[in-house]
Structure 1
Amino acid sequence: MDQIGLMRQLSLKTETKIVMVVLDGLGGLPDPITNKTELETANIPNLNALAAKSICGLSNPVLPGITPGSGPGHLALFGYDPLQYVIGRGVLEALGIDFDLRPGDVASRGNLCTLDTQGIITDRRAGRISTDKSRVIASQLNGLEIDGVQVIVEAVKDHRIVVVFRGEGLSDAVSDSDPQRVGLAPQPVTAINGSSNRMAQIANRFIAHASKVLTNHHPANGLLLRGFSRKPDFPSFKEVYNLDACAIAGYPMYRGLAKVVGMSVVKTGTTLTEEIQSLRDNFNSYDFFFFHVKGTDAAGEDGDFSRKVSVLENFDQFLPAIIELKPDVLIVTGDHSTPAILGGHGWQSVPVLVQGKYCRPDSVSVFSENACVGGGLGNIPACHLMPVAMANALKLEKFGA
């Protein structure tokens, strides 16, 4: 029996409430000048006070040394082993904007990017152009048909778009065109097995078409595709944990992740003020809340150390509003590390705190990477956090005689 099976067997329906705050890309690395991480640099008195009342530790989203994408990072936090439950980025983007994915559809996440005159990527995010500009570009790319396959293009958020291929004989077993690094040219989409040759050919023909359309769009004069995928069939959060779960997330991809596991996705804005209000408005209607904060990750990916510090300090000011709701268990962690000095996702373990009436507080009094090394949780797989939360909310039966 795996963890999902065990949780399905032991989970109880109770009135206790769990709030899981995910500060996307939370973990960091020391600034070379100050030798302090973003968390250690930030003025976060409320997080530190909460850590002193909590059991703390570090978590690994996948395995030590493995750099996770946002999909596996969040699935692990939801208690799904990311090595067993695999999902592509394209599906998450599509579901996040309520796109009606049909059986056989293959979805891909698109990044509008900037290419130089030699076709080399200089900015994978085209300066994070506005969603309004992406919407115009998406409309120009939408509606192409290639060998009987319809290509549907929709704007998602900022530079992100979703490209859905709809037709017969398609496969998601193809490589990405996005090398996920600047200084390289986009890569051709290639078949991973013999059955996906047609998909690769169609994707490359679409990319060639998009290149012509985007020639005069600056800074968004290129397109990168990754995460070709179909909609999966995962056991639902309700089925596994006996929880009525609610997702409060302003960015489409994370709303898509919540939908994949069957959470209700409530209407909210992208600011912390709006998200806190959504939490208040829905607190009596659900017993599990996934509360997502994007700014930490965006700053880390942009290599902006001081901005990531500011995002942490800003969240700290809103933390009392979450605590005032008196959830029975409150978790604060991240889906992965995004150190600003890396300018991207990292493999480093992620700080985590779990606070509740039945948690055994440890000696940690500061919420940081170094402090959490000595915490009572130790260094655990991220997918084990849900059983810890469930136990502390008195939502698990005893295992065995």
Structure 2
Amino acid sequence: MKYALVIPDGCADEAQDSLGGKTPLEAAKVPHMDEIAKLGRLGLTDNVPESMPSGSDVGTMSLFGYDPLVYHTGRAPLEAAAQGIELEAGDWAIRCNLVTVVDGIMKSFTAGQISNDVARELIELLQSHCCGDQHWKFHAGVSYRNLLIYRARGDKAPFASDTYTVPPHDITDQPISDHLPMGSGGCDLRALMDKSVELFESSQANQKRLADGLLPATQAWLWGQGSRPNLQLFSERFGVSGAVITAVDLLRGIGKLIGWDVVEVEGATGYLDTDYAAKGRAAIETLNKGHDFVVVHVEATDEASHEGLAEEKVTALEEIDEKIVGPLHRHLRDQGDYRILVCPDHPTFLRTKTHSHGYVPYAFCGSDVPCVGASAYNEPSARQTNEVIEQGHNLMGTFFDLSGSDSE
């Protein structure tokens, strides 16, 4: 038996006036996703507990079959794992976005999708001027996505469970003053953020971006802090080997922590310009090389929502359908027994430009999967089936054995 999961990140949404009163999934031409819904099961799942912030860290952990209320310690530790950064007891990882703030308003949580080379220069600038001892270390990641690591020093730790931070993508076009880090670690984080403003103003790389008509990174934004998680291996949990294809460190990190191989794909950008076809080819190659289960994550749909781009979100869905879901499903059918699942991690509303809580549509088909008689893969069709998984971490068990029972 071979298995596949395709994650169109944040694709679940509301009806849009600009799309004729349809959701992006309804407006998009996605015949291959529709076919999966028609051939098998379609329903709704809630991947993010109401008590937790909505984000891909929580949503994908749940989607992979791990109860985030049990296993989640923060977003940044997952990204640290992707970079091969080991966290010991007492250590903390903090996400460091490079952002653009204008007149106190969060204009861009990506600093205009800042390039890797400029981002690395700014991270090195932060390290050389902000961290005077071995306990603090900035690590360059990809584009605006970077990390700050705190190494424990005996009993003295500036972080605790009351440290409160806000993801910058949740406050696009809003004043930042009400969303700064608070709690026991807030003072340290705010001091570093304030220092970054001064440093970035003098950066030659930033000045060149301005001259070229691009958004500069005006400061660092620190958030998503957490300690080392303890996740059971996926093979022990579900009995299959796995691999993940993604351009996002968060997904790479979760994959590494649960024992999956991480497949790098040239041209996978984590943005709207990603090479969808290359991801589809890589998924097929990964299955051919002996993996039981492949996960293909696509960030483009989420990024379109964060920028309020309805047509681009529709286009991204159509690209995922044509170049990933279609070829992958055909390959699975040709090779023998299989199951394929399509499901986003959480909704991301074009209206608010941010992640939301709520149900998302799932669809899967394949060997021994009963047909529920659905007509299409979208939110309204999923509601009509009355198939609901209240706790999203049970979906993976349902996908593998149809029991729907918690695999804890």
Task: Give the TM-score normalised by structure 1.
Answer: 0.86
- CA distance in structure 1 between the aligned counterparts of 2:51 and 2:33, rounded to whole angstroms: 27
Q: How many residues align?
A: 373
Look up the match of 2:193. Answer: 207
Distance in 1 between residues matched to 2:111 and 2:326, nearest whole Å: 36
Structure 1 residue 343 displacement after superposition: 1.0
Q: Which residue does 1:3 correspond to in 2?
A: none
Establish whether residue 274 from structure 1 lines up as the match of residue 278 from structure 2: yes
Aligned to 1:18: 3
Q: 1:29 to 1:107 in 2, by over 3 A?
A: same
Determine the structure 2 residue equivalent to 1:349: 359
Q: Which runs of 5+ in 2 are unaligned?
A: 207-214, 269-274
Say whether residues 1:62 and 2:48 are aligned partners.
Answer: yes
**Aligned equivalents of 1:25, 1:346: Cα separation in 2:** 9
- Secondary structure of 2:364's partner? strand
> Are positions 1:189 and 2:193 aligned together?
no
- State whether residues 27 and 314 of structure 2, in contact with CA within 8 Å, keep that contact through their aligned partners in structure 1: yes
Contact 1:146–1:202 at 8 Å: present in 2 too?
A: no
Residue number in structure 2 paired with 1:127:
112
1:200 offset after TM fit, Å? Answer: 4.0
User: 2:209: which partner in 1?
Assistant: none
**What is the aligned counterpart of 2:157 among 145, 149, 170?**
170
Q: Give the CA deviation at 1:156.
A: 1.9
* Aligned with residue 29 of structure 2, among 43, 59, 62: 43
Work out the CA distance in 1 between the residues paired with 2:282 and 2:122.
32
For residues 270-304 of structure 1, the C-alpha deviation after alignment (integer angstroms, 9 at most, x for no partner) is 12222223222221421122211111111111111
| 1:264 counterpart letter in structure 2 | D
CA deviations 1:79-124 (Å, max 9, x no partner) are 11122221312112222233344443311111211122x4333322
Matched residue type, 2:398: V
Are 2:138 and 1:153 equivalent residues in the alignment? Answer: yes
Equivalent AA in structure 2 for residue 214 of structure 1: F
Q: What is the rounded CA distance, in whole Å, between the counterparts of 1:139 and 1:346 in structure 2?
A: 34
* Partner in structure 2 of residue 314 of structure 1: 319
Higher helix share: 2
CA 1:66/1:146 → structure 2, altered by over 3 Å: closer, same or farther? closer
RMSD of equivalent CA atoms: 2.4
Aligned partner of residue 324 in structure 1, secondary structure: helix
Change (3 A) 1:288 1:56: same
Residue 64 of structure 1 deviates from its aligned partner by: 6.3
Distance 1:247 1:171, change over 3 A: farther
Equivalent of 2:237, from 230, 236, 240?
240
On the 8 A contact 1:248/1:275 being kept in 2, the answer is: yes
CA-CA distance at 1:349 after TM superposition: 1.1
Stretch deviating more after TM superposition (84-93 or 147-156): 147-156
Residue type at the aligned position of 2:181:
V
Instruction: Name whichever of 226-235 and 149-158 sits farther off.
Output: 149-158
Shift of 1:72: 1.0
Q: Which amino acid aligns with 1:189?
A: P
> Quick one: which amino acid aligns to residue 284 of structure 2?
R
40 and 65 in structure 1: CA distance in 2 versus 1, 3 angstrom threshold:
farther
DSSP-derived class of the 1:142 partner: helix
Letter in 2 for 1:340: L
Map Cα deviations across residues 41-76 of structure 1 (whole Å, 9 max, x no partner).
111122212211111001111346976211110111
Q: 1:262 and 1:329 mapped to 2: Cα distance?
A: 21
Q: Is the 8 A contact 1:144 1:152 kept in 2?
A: no
Q: What is the aligned partner in structure 1 of residue 383 from structure 2?
A: 373
Q: Aligned pair in 2 of structure 1 residues 341, 366: CA closer, same or farther (>3 Å)?
A: same
Residue in 1 that maps onto 2:210: none
Residue 135 of structure 1 and its aligned partner are, at CA, apart by 1.4
Q: Distance in 2 between matches of 1:395 and 1:334?
A: 18
